[in-house]
Amino acid sequence: MADFATLTLDREIACAPDRLFHVMRDRALREKWSAPDTDSVVIIDEYDCRPGGREEIRCGPKEAPEFSTTGLFHVVTPEFLSYTETLVVGGQMMSVSLCGHEISERAGGSALRVTLQITSLVGPELFEDYQTGWSASLDNLVALASG
């Protein structure tokens, strides 16, 4: 049985939209801001951020990054970034998600809206993990892009 949820996360960022787009797409910067806390790590093993491109990521605790994601990029423009992502832990598929990132200009910088449409294959409790992890990562993105 599958469970479904849509999460929408909004951030205002004190940088130009082109700077935000760069920080979101740059591989090394993405590894920095994606880890939700100092005890976690994001390792991008494969990265081709263009329509039709893919990414392979390992993440989780620094001593044992046991989570794996595979992302397939569909739209990559300065205004909108969209990809699908599967999350696997210990060989078990946990979720499949459609991730949309809308970037727009606002007074004083940029607005970012991230919409996650999540299919959990392990129960609805996974949605809280998404909310917590993505919120922390986006807070890191705001700090890095604004700095």
Query: For 101-134, what is each residue's pLDDT tens digit?
Result: 999 999 999 999 999 999 999 999 999 999 999 9
Q: Domain 3-146 belongs to what topology?
A: Alpha-D-Glucose-1,6-Bisphosphate; Chain A, domain 4 (3.30.530)
Predicted confidence at residue 132, as pLDDT, reads 97
Find out whether 20 and 114 touch, Cβ atoms under 8 Å: no
Measured from the Cβ of residue 68, the count of other Cβ atoms closer than 10 Å reads: 20
Measured from the Cβ of residue 1, the count of other Cβ atoms closer than 10 Å reads: 6
Alpha carbon of 136 to those of 7, 15, 27, 37, 61: distances in Å?
Answer: 14, 19, 18, 7, 15
Q: How far apart are CA 28 and CA 14, in angstroms?
A: 21
- Residue 147 in this model has a pLDDT that exceeds 90: no
For the entire predicted model, the pTM comes to 0.95
Q: What is the mean pLDDT of the chain?
A: 97
Predicted confidence at residue 18, as pLDDT, reads 97
- Going by pLDDT thresholds of 50, 70 and 90, the confidence category of residue 137 is very high
- Residue 1 in this model has a pLDDT that exceeds 90: no
